[in-house]
Structure 1
């Protein structure tokens, strides 16, 4: 095998985090190679495709915005419905990924698709890749892992696997315009929840389940779809399906093992309760690209420490609360309490109870 080609930054994964990282590093003058194992950026889509309003700039990228969302309806096991203001955007996630990748390429990053990371020397920063032309090696001075919840980059850096929830989603015809997202909390979805997200003339209907508490996703999803058909919201006609894993264990103990920076799902930045991950991926990707460029320009590892600190300052409080609430819910799955509303009110962001003290702290105060 010939001597490895040299790059300043290797980005693995071209979702929103990887695209943002590649754009930021290339815009700062780095020679960037960004690889993705898929044939096409953004396909297949493994996402419910909701983006909160603060990420409006990305919603305005070409072809991304599908419709605006005004609120959230949360359904509890008793049947009680809680209505909340929750403005945001339903987007075309594939178009978002492509638009961000196009920005990276316009900034000077080299993109290679159908290219898989086979091996990474996380100390020497030499990667063995396999693309359409066969296997080859590249050398980098910094590596950014934007390669999902089962990140091979994180594994190569010696980090343990993440705790995940499995999801399944069907896309169905939407019968009438709808401006809210519907959330379903139920013992039928242990470790997760069900959702109905309108998207123009279709709807994404799905659920997440922790397979430690329930293996079957097909039966509960069919039941949820039947409810929505009965309400007259969707037609029971499958237009598409997707699914995958979502990390729910919180931030990794370290998000920059040496000159290896992890972003988005690979870093454990996905919200452990809602599963929301697009904003964290975009923000952490931008910051990782900037930090890698600062590190390479100045030769000072403090830029990497600053990345770690910035990520934790921005996300750790919210993510840690989500981990606490998830651990509380884990104690009720398969028990009668899972059919009562109270633990679900503590475990979902639409309720004030979610933002209160942890159950352990409240118990300590009462003693």
Structure 2
């Protein structure tokens, strides 16, 4: 059997986090292998495609920007609507992932598609991969897990599964140009919310739900689409569909178990209330690539500890608040309190109550 190919850095996953990590490490002269199980980077898209930080440079990458967003309309259970300034970008997520991966390749990273991680030894960095040509073994001094909420890299490192909610989204024709996002807070979407994100001539309409509180996503999504069609915002004509899991339990207790760095969804950096995860993936991925390069220059494990500290400094306060608000809402799902506007105002980022001290959530009343 031939010896395992040796790399400085193995990146698993070529979403925005993995692409950013591979680019940053390769730009520092490191030998980088980045693998992804998909045939084409960025396909299928499992994302609402909203980038809430218009200052990130990635919105200007080729083919990424579709339209600018100026505000947010939030609809409460009572039907009351509150309008907020909430600038951002609607993007083509597939083009974003591909543009970032292209940057990684241009920096010198080796990319392998249709390649799965079968096994990882967290002690030695030896990984068994399965690609179009069969199984191969490689070894790496640093492994970066950018492989989503059910991260095989995190599992190999002995970390527990993350708490998730499930999402379902349909793409429909948009009746007219629309500059805002619509958010729907309702007991019909326990553990999540409904949304309309306009994207040029189409709209992404979907919802998230915690399946501990409600199994059926199809019925509520059909009702939401019907409501939006009645308002004249969309045509009830399916152009595409997607769905997936979003981690909502907050940051993992550790995001660098040894010479393994976790980024984006794999690290639990997704916002537990909104589900926003693209900026955190881009930022944490770039920082992980830089930390890996720093570590490899002199073998100083402090570089990896610094990555953990930087990630927590930047994201932990916001994510922890989201976890707290989610836990408050969990206490009222399935009770009459879930029909009231107050708990939803405390549980959504468009309202000032979200950022204040939380009031005690009403106890759930048995049905």
TM-score normalized by the length of structure 1: 0.98
Equivalent position of 1:170 in the other structure: 170
Write the deviation string for residues 38-72 of structure 1: whole angstroms up to 9, x where unpaired: 00000000000001234441000000000000000
CA distance in 2, matches of 1:339, 1:352: 20
Q: CA contact under 8 A between 1:328 and 1:359: conserved in structure 2?
A: no
Relative to 1, partners in 2 of residues 1:226 and 1:155: Cα closer, same or farther, differing over 3 Å? same
CA distance in 1, matches of 2:91, 2:251: 26
Q: CA deviation at 1:359?
A: 3.0
CA distance in 2, matches of 1:277, 1:359: 27
CA distance in 2, matches of 1:73, 1:188: 18
Structure-to-structure mapping, 1:39-188, within 5 angstroms: 39-188=39-188
Q: CA contact under 8 A between 2:54 and 2:89: conserved in structure 1?
A: no
Equivalent position of 1:364 in the other structure: none
Q: CA contact under 8 A between 1:55 and 1:279: conserved in structure 2?
A: no
* Residue 355, structure 1, aligned to residue 355, structure 2: yes
Q: CA contact under 8 A between 1:74 and 1:182: conserved in structure 2?
A: yes
Q: CA deviation at 1:3?
A: 1.2
CA distance in 1, matches of 2:10, 2:129: 11
CA distance in 1, matches of 2:208, 2:73: 18
CA distance in 2, matches of 1:261, 1:53: 24
* Residue 286, structure 1, aligned to residue 286, structure 2: yes
Q: CA deviation at 1:94?
A: 0.1
Equivalent position of 2:259 in the other structure: 259
Instruction: Indicate the SS of the match to 1:85.
Output: strand
Write the deviation string for residues 321-366 of structure 1: whole angstroms up to 9, x where unpaired: 00000000000000000000000000000000000113359xxxxx
Structure-to-structure mapping, 1:266-305, within 5 angstroms: 266-305=266-305
CA distance in 2, matches of 1:54, 1:64: 12
Instruction: Indicate the SS of the match to 1:53.
Output: coil
Write the deviation string for residues 229-288 of structure 1: whole angstroms up to 9, x where unpaired: 000000000000000000000000000000000000000000000000000000000000
CA distance in 2, matches of 1:224, 1:135: 45
Equivalent position of 1:22 in the other structure: 22
Instruction: Indicate the SS of the match to 2:214.
Output: coil
CA distance in 2, matches of 1:317, 1:248: 14
User: Structure 1 regions of 5+ residues with no counterpart?
Assistant: 362-367
Q: CA deviation at 1:298?
A: 1.4
Write the deviation string for residues 203-235 of structure 1: whole angstroms up to 9, x where unpaired: 000000000000000000000000000000000
CA distance in 1, matches of 2:316, 2:56: 23
Instruction: Indicate the SS of the match to 2:102.
Output: helix
Write the deviation string for residues 129-179 of structure 1: whole angstroms up to 9, x where unpaired: 000000010000000000000000000000000000000000000010000
CA distance in 2, matches of 1:42, 1:17: 12
* Residue 344, structure 1, aligned to residue 344, structure 2: yes
Instruction: Indicate the SS of the match to 1:307.
Output: helix
Q: CA contact under 8 A between 2:198 and 2:204: conserved in structure 1?
A: yes
Q: How many residues align?
A: 361
CA distance in 2, matches of 1:261, 1:360: 37
CA distance in 2, matches of 1:29, 1:183: 44
Equivalent position of 1:233 in the other structure: 233
User: Structure 2 regions of 5+ residues with no counterpart?
Assistant: 362-367
Equivalent position of 1:203 in the other structure: 203
